[in-house]
């Protein structure tokens, strides 16, 4: 009789420890988000569930082409792709991205380019849209992958690096679209 109670106590204690660890990881290391809108298609779709690594940027800097979640305002978080880091000069000419006058292939856009006719990204220079020739220190320039339909830095300007919640590490729903890498 005592062994059954002992086993139950061990099982309950184990479950409690697992729940505490899960809550800790969920609250402090990772966060779950629902993609709202079409601005990141074809990388992320409206309704996708994503896991955001919140601790990564405590140990390393944001990298170009990372897909991130950031606080757009007090009520909304946006998911976008980092295009420009501090000091970068950015322009798009003939639907091609140039960073510091070097052409950058955007392989993650190929699926979208295959579906459309015409250009995906209209020509622009950083100076035309922000008044700055380079991305300022502590700021980032972000774009949605659906360049025809994305409210991004072309409209609201730079984002402060301090507003970054974390990097999108996993798309886990729907199961048919599970994915882990969003830079290529």
Domain range summary for the chain, segments of one domain joined by +:
32-177
End-to-end CA gap in the chain: 59
Q: Which residue has the tokens 């020509």?
A: 123
Active-site residue, 39 included: yes
Active-site hit among 4, 27, 63, 80: 80
Contacts of 107 (CB under 8 A, 6+ apart): 184
2 labelled catalytic: no
Of all residues in the chain, the percent with pLDDT exceeding 70 is 79
- Please, what is the average pLDDT of the chain? 83
- Tokens 């601790």 sit on residue: 55
Catalytic residue among 38, 39, 91, 153: 39
Query: Per-residue pLDDT averaged across 115-119, rounded?
Result: 86
Q: Is the pLDDT of residue 72 over 80?
A: yes
Residue 105's pLDDT is: 93
Query: What pTM, to 2 d.p., does this model score?
Result: 0.79
Identify the pLDDT of residue 59: 47
CATH of 32-177, one of 3.40.50.150, 2.10.109.10, 1.20.120.1200, 3.40.30.10: 2.10.109.10
Compute the distance between CA of residue 83 and CA of residue 63 in angstroms, rounded to an integer.
9
pLDDT tens-digit series, residues 150-171:
999 999 999 999 999 888 887 7
């Amino acid at each position: 009789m005592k062994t059954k109670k002992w086993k139950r106590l061990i099982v309950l204690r184990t479950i409690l420890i697992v729940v505490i660890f899960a809550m800790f990881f969920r609250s402090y290391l990772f966060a779950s988000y629902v993609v709202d809108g079409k601005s990141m298609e074809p990388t992320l779709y409206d309704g996708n569930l994503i896991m955001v690594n919140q601790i990564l940027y405590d140990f390393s800097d944001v990298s170009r082409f990372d897909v991130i979640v950031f606080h757009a305002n007090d009520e909304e978080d946006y998911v976008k792709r980092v295009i420009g880091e501090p000091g970068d000069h950015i322009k798009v000419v003939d639907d091609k991205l140039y960073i510091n006058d070097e052409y950058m292939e955007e392989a993650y856009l190929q699926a979208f380019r295959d579906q459309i006719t015409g250009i995906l990204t209209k020509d622009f220079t950083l100076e035309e849209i922000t008044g700055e020739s380079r991305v300022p220190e502590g700021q980032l320039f972000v774009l949605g992958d659906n360049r025809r339909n994305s409210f991004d830095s072309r409209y609201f300007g730079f984002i402060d690096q301090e507003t970054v919640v974390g990097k999108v590490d996993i798309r886990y729903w729907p199961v048919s679209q599970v994915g882990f890498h969003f830079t290529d």
